[in-house]
């Protein structure tokens, strides 16, 4: 799982512990509950870019450094998305 990979990649124990606590919480949202609330047309290209990048990633063949690079790219793209919070 992702936690195991994080440990193998040498991420700080504090970060790994924090991730483990989020995953173990009963109120952790299921995949079905997670919804993107961005509805503005100007956000759609960035959202599509994020989805395409995620779909193209092969997690079985990516190095920790490549994963970090892709995560950084996704974070920058996500920063451009305008989210409407209801």
For the chain, give every domain's residue range.
1-29, 35-86
Handedness of CA 52, 49, 53, 18 (dihedral sign): negative
pLDDT of 2: 73
Buried b (16+ CB within 10 A) or exposed e, 74-85: eeebeeebeeee
pTM for the complete prediction? Answer: 0.44
pLDDT of 41: 54
CB atoms within 10 A of CB 22: 10
Per-residue model confidence as pLDDT tens digits over 26-67? 555 554 445 444 344 556 777 788 888 888 888 888 888 998
Q: How far apart are CA 74 and CA 41, in angstroms?
A: 19
Integer CA distances (angstroms), 38 to 72, 84, 85, in order: 20, 6, 8
């Amino acid at each position: 799982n992702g936690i195991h990979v994080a440990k193998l990649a040498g991420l700080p124990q504090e970060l790994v512990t924090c991730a483990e606590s989020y995953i173990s919480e009963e109120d952790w949202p299921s995949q079905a509950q997670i919804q993107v609330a961005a509805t503005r047309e100007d956000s759609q290209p960035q959202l599509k870019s994020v989805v395409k990048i995620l779909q193209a990633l092969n997690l079985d063949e990516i190095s920790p450094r490549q994963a970090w690079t892709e995560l950084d790219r996704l974070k920058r793209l996500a920063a451009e998305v305008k989210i409407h919070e209801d």
